[in-house]
Amino acid sequence: MIGAKADRVESRDGGGVLGPIARDSLQERVYRRLRRSLIHGEFDAGQVLRIQDLADTLQTSTMPVREALARLVSEQALESLPSRSVRVPLIEVARLDDLARARSLVEGELVRLATDRLKGSGCAHLHALTEECEAAFAAGGPEKQQTTSELNHAFHFAIYGAARSPVLLPIVESLWLQSGPYVRAAAGLYDATPAGRAVRHHRTLIAAMDRGDHAGAVSALTEDITQSFNLIRTRLVREDAVADGPGAGAGDVGGGVRDG
C-alpha cells in the first residue's frame, strides 16, 4: 500500500516507534458536543449562538468554541452573522425539500446495501431499538425528545454502518447535521400524533429488510424520512394561508421560519 511506511517512523533518539499523537483536544470535544446538540435538535431554528455564552455554558475558554463554530459553519450546520456570532439556519421550504430529497437518495442507497447483511438475525438489534423508542414516546416526560432522537439516530446508523460504505456514511452524517432544526420543529408536531406513528415506518423497514426486499426497504425508509418534513411543510402552508408575510408562524414551527 502506498504510504504504508509513513504509518511507523523509527525514532532517532532510541525512544522506540513514533506513532500518531491522540488529538482528543478540548476543541474537538467542544465541537462534538455542539455537533451532537445540533443533530438532536437541541437548538431552535434561527437561534443565535454567541461565543461567550457557549463558553460559559460549557465552562471553557472562547477559543475552542470559536474554532468549533467555524467548523460547523463550514459544514453548513450554522450560518455566520455580521455581528461575528452565528445562528442555527432558519426553516425554509426550499431547503426542507432539498434535504428530504438528498437524504432519501443517499440513505436509500445505504439501506439497499445493508439489506442483504441484516436480513434475518441481523435485524434483532433494530427490533430492540424500535421497541425502546416506542416505549419512550409512550412514557413522555421532559426527556422524551432527547431520548427518542438518540434512539432514532441509533436505529438508522445501525443500518447505515452495516452498509460498509466509508464514502456515503460521512455524507449522511453531514445531512443529519443540517437537518437538526427540522428535527426540533417536527418533534413538537409529533406530540399531536399517536405515539405508534413515529415508529411505524421503522417496523415496515425492518420487515422488508428481514425478507430481503430491497425495494420495500428503500420505500419504507423514504416514507420515514419524509414524514417529518411533510409535517413541517403542512404546517407552513397552513400558516401561510392565514398570515401572508415574513415570519408568519415562526413561533409555532421551531422558532425561525422563512419562505424558500
Nearest Cα residue to 228 out of 183, 164, 163? 183
pLDDT in tens, the chain (260 residues): 555 444 443 334 444 454 454 445 889 999 999 999 999 989 999 999 999 999 999 999 999 999 999 999 999 999 999 888 899 999 888 999 999 999 999 999 999 999 999 987 889 999 999 999 999 888 888 888 889 899 999 999 999 999 999 999 999 999 999 998 888 888 777 666 655 566 899 999 999 999 999 999 999 999 999 988 888 888 887 776 666 655 444 444 555 555 44
What is the pLDDT, as a whole number, of residue 15?
Answer: 46
C-beta atoms surrounding 94 within 10 Å: 10
CA distances from 243 to 62, 228, 240 (A): 41, 23, 5
- Global pTM reads 0.80
What is the pLDDT, as a whole number, of residue 159?
Answer: 97
Residue 48 in 3-state DSSP?
strand
What is the pLDDT, as a whole number, of residue 140?
Answer: 81
* Rg of the Cα atoms in the chain: 21
Strands 79-80 and 86-87 come out as antiparallel
Distance CA 229, CA 236 (A): 11
Sheet holding 86-87: strands in order across?
48-49, 86-87, 79-80
Residues 89, 92, 95, 97: is their CA dihedral positive or negative?
positive
Taking the C-alpha atoms of 154, 155, 156 and 157 in order, what is their torsion angle to the nearest 10 degrees? 40
Distance CA 89, CA 144 (A): 24
Residues 209, 211, 214, 218: is their CA dihedral positive or negative?
negative
What is the pLDDT, as a whole number, of residue 205?
Answer: 97
Residues 119, 124, 130, 131: is their CA dihedral positive or negative?
positive
Structural domains of the chain sorted by starting position, each given as residue range(s) with its CATH number in brackets: 26-87 (1.10.10.10), 91-252 (1.20.120.530)
The DSSP call for residue 47 is -
Q: Where are the beta strands (DSSP E) in 44-109?
A: 48-49, 79-80, 86-87, 91-92
What is the pLDDT, as a whole number, of residue 259?
Answer: 46
Residue 200 in 3-state DSSP?
helix
How confident is the model over 138-157, as pLDDT tens digits? Answer: 888 888 888 989 999 999 99
C-beta atoms surrounding 3 within 10 Å: 6
Cell of 87: 445562528
Check if the beta carbon of residue 151 is closer than 8 Å to that of residue 132: yes
User: Which residue matches cell numbers 408536531?
Assistant: 189
